[in-house]
Amino acid sequence: MTLSFARQVEVELRVNGEDMRVVVSARTTLLDWLREEVGLTGAKKGCNEGACGTCTVLVDGRRMNGCLTLVVQCQGLEITTVEGLADEDGTLHPVQQAFHDHDGYQCGYCTPGQVLSAVACIAEGHAGDEATVREWMSGNICRCSAYPQITAAVLAAGRQTS
Amino acid sequence: MRDFAYARADSRASAVEALADRAAPIAGGTELLNWLRLGIAAPERIVDIGGLDELHGIERRGTELYIGALTTLNEIGEDPLVVDHAGALASACLQAASAQVRNRATIGGNVLQRTRCAYFRAEEPMPWPCNKRSPGSGCAALAGLHERSAIFGWTEDCVAVQPSDPAVALAALDAQVEVVGPAGPRTILMSEFHLTPHETGDPTRETQLGPDELITGYRIPVGHPDGQAYVKVRERASYEYAIVSAAAAVTLVGNQIATARVALGSVAMRPWRLPGAEAELVGAQMDRAAIQPIIESAMSAALPLPHNGFKVTMAGNAAVRALLAAGGAR
């Protein structure tokens, strides 16, 4: 059966717990859509080519680069951005709290991506020691170079979660 | 990014039909989206094969390990079957890219990534010559900066290298690439899958895969290599492309090498096996004193460019390290 190609595509997906049904241009990246259409600006646009990690979001719990993902590839999937981490009453997610406690940022531009990457890093079981954290967090660049504090935050949050 | 029309394949057959009608396939998309941004590719239609579950997964099939094309690099790198039977591949997958990229990038697409040559990766309109992007225009790298370029298999038309880490391990492990096209399925030896400009005379022809063919999976012989290793040399400890790399698989009788396979990465437009050295290594002791002269002799066939003579030494050392690690000698 020959496939039917379209430039506008309907996609059903869930963003931070909210079910959505949208029509997007096929070329729309998850990053651009979250920021410009949904109004969730936590995921940042750094390099827009998969090199910096500041656009990291969770897709069905797995960390991915929003700039390397099309919305049309997210049919039926659940997206979590940094806006979806804290409790409704404002209580920070344990990883957010750990970044706060350990001063895991300077300018903060990379922080949403760092935090989501850390949430996944811990869930994957890659937060047991410093060398493992540094290796598995290497996809998130921090140009202020807050790496020691970020690593400490991930290790602390990992200990708390386990 | 240029506009395109999109459809989700519901079977291999529908995917192949779309490819034959000049659609571009997307799976993870980590390469394709950047090609679209730079103008390296400009397809009118894109067919999404990401939902074809039959192309996803890892299993033992008799004397082979089978890895579906849609399996991600993280899934392969942490899979117990791969770690046990194809350790060099597991290591290569986890040393590629970042955790985020590896959650999207598939092993089918990975071997089709294009060169990292900075001249090739320019945004349109092309500011300089590149025979891959604008055939006949020339090679800016040959006349310009080429410290990362090829030391084997290049021509004056193109000095680029293939950057995939997993492809180097797959080549060393004698993996077969399974593909399907309008004429049905066929297999291609991984070490022969990529083509050098020296072989084809055409820098735009990079693999044996036809435009209407799809990679469906990989078959890796298992059971014989005692030890395997993948050594990646790069400017950062993590999340960086290789300057050079080496994959090795050896079997030993006592401390004597019974079989050895070694492939170099980022030295040519394909993983570069060293068949002469592999033959000479049989019977040699598994130690540096025996291995190093054999590898150095093999590396004397390299043809470095003015800026990258260091890669000959570095690639040889990576091969020695990979063989020693594979043999448990370190």
- Please write the tens of the pLDDT for every residue from B199-255: 999 999 999 999 999 999 999 999 766 799 999 999 999 999 999 999 999 999 999
Phi, psi of A159 (to 5 degrees): -65, -40
Q: Does A131 touch chain B (CB under 8 A)?
A: no
Query: Distance between alpha carbon A156 and the CA centroid of its chain, in Å?
Result: 19
Mean pLDDT of A40-62: 98
For A129, counting Cβ atoms within 10 Å of its Cβ (0-12 exposed, 13-18 middle, 19+ buried), the class is exposed
Q: What pLDDT was estimated at residue A28?
A: 98
Coil, helix or strand for B16?
Answer: helix
Please name every residue paired with A29 in a beta bridge, in sequence order, or none if there are none: A70
Q: What is the pLDDT of residue B1?
A: 85
| pTM higher than the cut 0.90 | yes
Cis amide bond preceding B125, omega within 30: yes
Which residue from A27, A73, A139 is facing B98, i.e. has the nearest CB?
A139
Any idea what the Cα angle at residue A92 is, between residues A81 and A35, rounded to 5°? 25
In chain A the beta strands, taken as DSSP E runs, fall at 8-15, 18-25, 56-59, 62-65, 78-80
Residues in A closer than 8 angstroms to B46, CB to CB, are 26
Residue of A nearest to B100 (CA): A64
Would the pLDDT of A1 be above 70? no
d(CA A131, CA B250): 29
B12 → chain A, closest CA residue? A1
Q: Touching check for B28 and chain A: CB below 8 Å? A: yes
Locate tokens 């980590």: which residue? Answer: B30
For chain A, the average pLDDT equals 97
Query: Taking a C-beta distance cutoff of 8 angstroms, is the pair A34, A79 a contact?
Result: yes
B163 and B92 Cβ atoms separated by less than 8 Å: no
Q: Say how far apart CA B203 and CA B136 lie, in whole Å.
A: 10
Would the CB atoms of B8 and A121 count as touching at under 8 Å?
no
Show Cβ contacts of residue A161 under 8 Å, excluding neighbours closer than 6 positions: A94, A122
State the DSSP code for A81. Answer: -
pLDDT at B201: 97
Residue of A nearest to B33 (CA): A68
CB B248 within 8 A of CB B91: no
Who among A9, A68, A137 is closest to B101 (CB)?
A: A68
Return the pLDDT at B225: 64
Handedness of CA A65, A71, A77, A80 (dihedral sign): positive
What whole-number percentage of chain A has pLDDT above 90?
98
- Count chain A–chain B contacts defined by CB atoms under 8 A: 110
| Residues A90 and B43: beta-carbon distance below 8 Å | no
Is A45 in the B-facing interface, judged by CB distances under 8 Å? Answer: no
Helix (DSSP H) and strand (DSSP E) numbers for chain A: 5, 5
Please judge whether A64 and B47 are an interchain contact, meaning their C-beta atoms are less than 8 angstroms apart. no
User: Which of A128, A154, A129 minimizes the C-alpha distance to A140?
Assistant: A154
Give the C-alpha separation, B263 to A101, whole Å.
47
- The Cα B93–Cα B72 span in angstroms is 9
Q: Do the Cβ atoms of B203 and B300 come closer than 8 Å?
A: no
pLDDT of residue A161: 81
Confidence at residue B188, expressed as pLDDT on a 0 to 100 scale: 98
Taking an 8 Å cut-off on Cβ atoms, the answer to whether A64 and B37 are in contact is: no
Q: Which of A3, A63, A70 sits opposite B99 (nearest CB)?
A: A63
B34 contacts chain A (CB < 8 A) = yes
Q: Cα distance from B285 to chain A (closest Cα, Å)? A: 34
Q: Which amino acid is at B273?
A: R
Residue B276 distance to chain A (closest CA, Å): 36
Taking the C-alpha atoms of residue B100 and residue A43, their distance in angstroms, rounded to an integer, is 14
What ipTM does this complex have? 0.97
Q: Compute chain B's Rg from CA coordinates.
A: 19
Beta-carbon contacts of residue A90 (< 8 Å; ≥ 6 apart):
none
Q: What are the C-alpha distances in Å from A79 to residues A59, A76, B103?
A: 5, 10, 14
Closest to B6 (Cβ–Cβ): which among A2, A5, A121? A5
Instruction: Give the chain B residue nearest A62 (alpha carbons).
Output: B103
Q: What are phi and psi of B205, to 5 degrees?
A: -95, 105
Helix (H) or strand (E) holding B7: strand B5-8
Q: Does B2 touch chain A (CB under 8 A)?
A: yes
Residue pLDDT tens, chain B, 330 long: 889 999 999 999 999 999 999 999 999 999 999 999 999 999 999 999 999 999 999 999 999 999 999 999 999 999 999 999 999 999 999 999 999 999 999 999 999 999 999 999 999 999 999 999 999 999 999 999 999 999 999 999 999 999 999 999 999 999 999 999 999 999 999 999 999 999 999 999 999 999 999 999 999 999 766 799 999 999 999 999 999 999 999 999 999 999 999 999 999 999 999 999 999 999 999 999 999 999 999 999 999 999 999 999 999 999 999 999 999 975
A100 touches chain B (CB under 8 A): no
Residue of A68, A120, A139 with shortest CB distance to B33: A68
User: How big is the CA angle at A62 (ends A132 and B19), to the nearest 5 degrees?
Assistant: 120
Residue A75, chain B, CB below 8 Å: the answer is: yes
Contact call for residues A37 and A13 (beta carbons, < 8 A): no
| A126–B97 CB contact, under 8 Å | no
The pLDDT score that the predictor gives to residue A2 is 87
Which residues numbered 211-250 in B keep a CB inside 8 Å of some CB on A? 236-239
A130: helix, strand or coil: helix
What local confidence, expressed as pLDDT, does residue B224 receive? 66
